[in-house]
Amino acid sequence: MPAHPHREDAAPADAGAAVDVGPLSGLVGYALRRAQLAVSRDLAEQFAALDIRPAQYSVLVVLARNPGLRAGQVALALGIQRANFVPLLDGLEARGLAERRRATGDRRASALFLTDAGEAMLARLEPLLAAHEAKFAARLGRDGRYQLMGLLHRIGDSAFDPG
Amino acid sequence: MPAHPHREDAAPADAGAAVDVGPLSGLVGYALRRAQLAVSRDLAEQFAALDIRPAQYSVLVVLARNPGLRAGQVALALGIQRANFVPLLDGLEARGLAERRRATGDRRASALFLTDAGEAMLARLEPLLAAHEAKFAARLGRDGRYQLMGLLHRIGDSAFDPG
DNA sequence: TATTGTTATACTCTATAACTATA
DNA sequence: TATAGTTATAGAGTATAACAATA
């Protein structure tokens, strides 16, 4: 709440009134941005206690599900550029959560694995994630959450489609 | 399509199969991120012809609707840090699309306005935005789009709520 | 020639602290 | 003392080009 003692500012628009964002509030992109920011901030807060960012979590999950996957495949699956995946994985490896092994058969490639510490980390992250999800599920309702997921997939799954 | 000539890589997981992202695909935050990325990329492409980014567009819209608004208010309305709003506005002012005037009554504050060129730019952006929105509206259907907006607002409007 | 991982680089977005000039 | 705008800075995310080793 602004102090607003005498309000002698003549020219500017009504300072106390709510700002009119006009057509922005009706745009899918704008609503998506606001929602995504709110959710990712909340998840980042939840994971901060374990010093894990959402992007790092997503890598841990994929490695847990697909041991031995190559770096390029993980990056592709997560929609990350291969070049940007390098420092991301570096960070996980430096902390002993994931490791690169030589892939047998193709000496260019690496096979990625979660370490035991990585598995343990994933287990500790799980309840934090559950709390995060529950918060937003409560706002949406069960049907709302189900509908939202369906609608979001209609948009995001075609990320690189032409039309 | 990977070449995959003899597939002698023994250790790694099945390279040809789709990667299992596990619980990620069921997370609201992950679906939001993918959808938001797809939409913002598309809008950025549409606006690229006029060298305008989505964030710049949002400022132009707010100024058009609220002439004389102060910088802090615009930043607050758009969820941008005041400090980050400065270079954003600098860019618009340098291109003659917006301008800062001295606010009467409070010599600390500035009153922001769209220039004629700014109004003209907004008019030229309008059809590009319409094409962008139409693309995603088509994927969602009219009801789907309406539902999505409602659900997203349930998440994003409470961006700074406690619970 | 093409691909894997990598390096280097740049730009945008986000975040925080601190300064200045006003109030 | 508090506020508006600003400066400076740092960290993430995203993007492209190019290189070495290997295919």
pLDDT by residue (tens digit) across B113-128?
999 999 999 999 999 9
CB < 8 Å to A4, chain B: none
- Nearest nt by C1' to A1 Cα: D3
pLDDT at B104: 87
CB < 8 Å to A145, chain B: 28
pLDDT by residue (tens digit) across A67-94?
999 999 999 999 999 999 999 999 999 9
Do residues B103 and B127 lie in contact, with contact meaning Cβ atoms separated by under 8 Å? Answer: no
Write out chain A's pLDDT in tens, 163 residues. 333 333 333 344 444 457 899 889 999 999 999 999 999 999 999 999 999 999 999 999 999 999 999 999 999 999 999 999 999 999 999 999 999 998 889 999 999 999 999 999 999 999 999 999 999 999 999 999 999 999 999 998 764 443 3
Chain A interface test: which of B66, B70, B140 (most A C-beta within 10 Å): B66
- Residue A129 three-state SS: helix
pLDDT average, residue stretch B38-67:
96
Which residue in A33, A74, A77 is closest to B36 by CB distance? A33
Q: Which residue is nearest to nucleotide D15 (CA to C1')?
A: A81
pLDDT tops 50 at residue B138:
yes
pLDDT at A157: 78
Min Cα distance B130 → chain A (Å) is 10
pLDDT tops 60 at residue B2:
no
3-state SS of chain B is CCCCCCCCCCCCCCCCCCCCCHHHHHCHHHHHHHHHHHHHHHHHHHHHCCCCCHHHHHHHHHHHHCCCECHHHHHHHHCCCHHHHHHHHHHHHHCCCEEEEECCCCCCCEEEEECHHHHHHHHHHHHHHHHHHHHHHHHHHHHHHHHHHHHHHHHHCCCCCCC
